[in-house]
């Protein structure tokens, strides 16, 4: 049965969904990417090094919970899943207000809030994909750019809340702010094609059919290669993201303000490149170099090469260029390219699960990368090997996708067939 892809460009409500998805990601990234600021606050309060788990746990749980979120989306829909995520996120933040120890915060802020953010994060790409066809990549890029905005504007907000209301008041207000996720999630109404009787009849299939349809993508070899790609890039990028500040300040002798500017440049690059990558991916019908998989390989390769150069060439102008180049490769991992590739492989109807598993694998690499580099630095007292390892992992993540790139599954014709009639492929 052909799949109607929802609204075309003329359906304005699709852009309302894009705006809602972008705003949810502003809030999700605002909460998760200020964990470093919160860490410094609670470290000063509780005087416990256990609080270091807050930052790594919060960021990782957001993506580890993605497969569960994908199942909830298939069972209850995008709206209920995102609203549930907003409620759980708010509960975690409000409970953190009553913390009496670092362990308490690890559970409430690191675990519960992370679960809520993960449940809210997943429906964003799924909802956008249901409303667009011809401008899908641009819409996904705009929606994902909200994450960069949240990372940029929330740290000073959190600092101001702490200065004005203390750490307990800070958590309470953040909890209230996060409830806006529920408001934006309610805007995820089904696309017009989802309102016909066929959808409801299809949902009455047996459990065995449900499981077969949902997990059949595990038989696709290129899907597994994409998972290796995600793990390697997550591993390498976490080393750079986690240790760039220490490398710039402690090893090169630059001030903390320079480090902050580099991270700001990184955030701006991520935001702009997500939109740019979505726009150029939509142009691949005429310019095949701009296919999503082509862009993924190029951006990962550029980021990896720039990282390999970093330990040997580090004047300030290059550091600025590096933050922009690395930001562009980081954008490729979290913007429209991965969802687009997954749609090419298995269609929109499977995106909730294929994307959630991809995010979880990426999170595993991200979780182990920075600590591994920290251990190497402790042994060698040098960042040369960690950054070479990071660059090599990112380059390998690009090279492993060359074989899928040559597959006919990523040609323009098959893109149309896969998106318009994805269920015929499952047959």
- Domain ranges across the chain: 1-204, 207-427
Stretches in the chain below the pLDDT threshold 50: 1-6, 9-10, 194-213, 412-427
Q: How far, in Å, are 25, 97, 161 from residue 151 at the CA level? A: 10, 22, 16
Helices (H) and strands (E) in the chain, counts: 21, 0
Contacts of 158 (CB under 8 A, 6+ apart): 34, 37, 38, 170, 174
What single-letter DSSP state applies at residue 249? I
Per residue in 281-290, is it b (16+ CB within 10 Å) or e — as a string? Answer: bbebeeeeeb
pLDDT confidence of residue 49: 60
| The CATH number fitting domain 1-204, selected from 1.20.1250.20, 3.30.830.10, 3.40.50.2000, 3.40.50.720 | 1.20.1250.20
Residue 11, pLDDT score: 61
Picking from 23, 167, 186, the residue whose alpha carbon sits closest to that of residue 109 is 167
pLDDT value, residue 180? 95
Contact 243, 383 (CB under 8 A): yes
Reference 239, options 394, 360, 106; nearest CA is: 394
Question: Is CATH 1.20.1250.20 the classification given to domain 207-427?
Answer: yes
What is the token pair recorded at 301?
């390769």
Q: What is the pLDDT of residue 32?
A: 84
What is the length of the chain?
427
Greatest extent of the chain over all pairs of C-alpha atoms, in Å: 65
| Distances, alpha carbon 63 to alpha carbons 42, 44, 106, 119, 408, in Å | 24, 28, 17, 9, 30
Task: Using alpha carbons only, give the angle 125, 290, 134 rounded to the nearest 5 degrees.
Answer: 50
**CA atoms of 179 and 173, how far apart (whole Å):** 10
User: What pLDDT does 284 receive?
Assistant: 66
End-to-end CA distance of the chain: 10
pLDDT at 146: 86
Q: Distance (Å, rounded) from C-alpha 69 to C-alpha 81?
A: 7
User: Smallest Cα–Cα separation from 329: which of 391, 375, 374?
Assistant: 391
CB contact at 8 A, 114 and 57: yes
Matching CATH topology for 1-204 and 207-427?
A: yes
Cα separation values, 36 from 40, 151, 335, 369, 406, Å:
6, 11, 23, 17, 41
């Amino acid at each position: 049965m052909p799949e109607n892809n929802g609204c075309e460009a003329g359906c304005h409500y699709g852009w309302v969904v894009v705006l809602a998805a972008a705003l949810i990601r502003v809030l999700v990234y605002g909460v998760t990417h200020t964990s470093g600021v919160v860490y410094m606050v609670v470290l000063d309060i509780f005087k416990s090094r256990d609080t270091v788990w807050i930052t790594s746990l919060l960021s990782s749980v957001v993506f580890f919970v993605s497969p569960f979120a994908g199942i909830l989306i298939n069972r209850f829909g995008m709206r209920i899943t995102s609203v549930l995520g907003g409620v759980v996120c708010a509960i975690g933040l409000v409970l953190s207000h009553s913390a009496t120890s670092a362990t308490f915060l690890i559970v409430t802020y690191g675990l519960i809030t992370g679960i809520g953010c993960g449940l809210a994060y997943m429906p964003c790409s799924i909802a956008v994909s249901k409303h667009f066809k011809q401008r899908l990549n641009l819409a996904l890029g705009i929606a994902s750019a909200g994450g960069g905005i949240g990372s940029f504007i929330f740290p000073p907000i959190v600092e101001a809340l702490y200065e004005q209301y203390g750490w307990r008041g800070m958590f309470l207000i953040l909890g209230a702010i996060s409830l806006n996720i529920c408001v934006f999630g309610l805007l995820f109404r089904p696309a017009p094609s989802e309102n016909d009787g066929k959808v409801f009849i299809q949902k009455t299939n047996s459990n065995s059919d449900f499981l077969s349809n949902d997990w059949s993508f595990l038989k696709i070899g290129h899907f597994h290669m994409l998972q290796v790609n995600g793990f390697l890039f997550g591993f390498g990028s976490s080393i750079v993201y986690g240790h760039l500040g220490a490398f710039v300040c402690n090893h090169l002798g630059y001030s903390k303000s320079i480090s902050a500017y580099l991270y700001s440049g990184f955030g701006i690059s991520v935001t702009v490149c997500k939109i740019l990558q979505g726009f150029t991916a939509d142009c691949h019908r005429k310019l095949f170099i701009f296919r999503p998989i082509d862009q993924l390989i190029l951006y990962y390769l550029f980021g990896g090469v720039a990282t390999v150069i970093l330990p040997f060439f580090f004047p300030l102008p290059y550091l600025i260029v590096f933050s922009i180049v690395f930001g562009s490769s980081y954008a490729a991992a979290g913007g429209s390219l991965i969802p687009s590739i997954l749609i090419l492989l298995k269609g929109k109807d499977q995106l909730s699960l294929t994307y959630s598993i991809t995010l979880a694998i990426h999170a595993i690499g991200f979780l182990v990368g920075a600590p591994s580099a920290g251990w190497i630095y402790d042994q060698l007292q040098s960042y040369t090997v960690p950054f070479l390892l990071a660059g090599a992992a990112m380059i390998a993540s690009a090279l492993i996708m060359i074989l899928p790139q040559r597959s006919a599954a990523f040609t323009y014709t098959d893109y149309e067939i896969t998106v318009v009639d994805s269920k015929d492929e499952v047959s």
